[in-house]
Amino acid sequence: MGYLYGAGMARNKNNGPQIAAIPKRVIEHPDFLSLSYRALRLLLQFAYQYNKRNNGKLCAIHDQLKDKGFASKQTLSEALKELHAKRFIELTKGTTTSKNGRSPNYYALTFWGIDDIAGFKMDVKPSPKPTRTFNDAIDKRNT
């Protein structure tokens, strides 16, 4: 049986619909259940950006997120701080300033490995291993 595709729905290389995936073990974890509405909304935006090849180059730019529930920069900043404090994201490349202006911070979702992205230099090393498994026994051993 084939898929039906709505207007604008992209296909992946396997001809299935693209999805924003968060593993069940993450969704079932108490830290996920304790996320504020704004942090959960931002986590979904990061999952939406992730395409299995760009973890480490995810960004949260206010101008791009204004129409997605982040009317103020403060709301976005608070959501970023919460996701970082609860270890759902990690900073992979900090803000830099060049002749072209300021570049954004870039992040990785901790429940996927950090991708090796051609032509993109990060402040952390790429790794296929997630930095957080959302299995408390394993995560405690790795910290």
Q: What is the pLDDT of residues 77-100, one digit of tens each?
A: 999 999 999 999 999 999 766 666
What is the pLDDT confidence band of residue 3, given thresholds at 50, 70 and 90?
very low
Average pLDDT, the chain: 86
Q: How far apart are CA 42 and CA 85, in angstroms?
A: 14
Question: Domain residues of the chain, as ranges?
Answer: 24-142
Q: Other C-beta atoms within 10 Å of 115: how many? A: 21
CA–chain centroid gap for 30, Å, is 19
pTM: 0.83
Q: Which residues of 81-100 are buried (b: 16+ CB within 10 A; e: fewer)?
A: ebbeebebbbbbbeeeeeee
At the topology level, CATH places domain 24-142 in Arc Repressor Mutant, subunit A (1.10.10)
Q: Other C-beta atoms within 10 Å of 41: how many? A: 17
**DSSP per position, 20-69:** ----HHHHTSHHHHT--HHHHHHHHHHHHH--SS-TT-B---HHHHGGGT
Structure tokens at 11: 């296909």
What is the pLDDT confidence band of residue 8, given thresholds at 50, 70 and 90?
very low
Average pLDDT, integer, range 44-51 = 96
Does the structure show a pLDDT above 90 at 118? yes
Does the structure show a pLDDT above 50 at 36? yes
Q: What is the pLDDT of residues 48-79, one digit of tens each?
A: 999 999 999 999 999 999 999 899 999 999 99
Q: What is the pLDDT of residue 63?
A: 94
Report the percentage of the chain scoring pLDDT > 90. 71
Does the structure show a pLDDT above 50 at 141? yes
Q: What is the pLDDT of residue 95?
A: 74
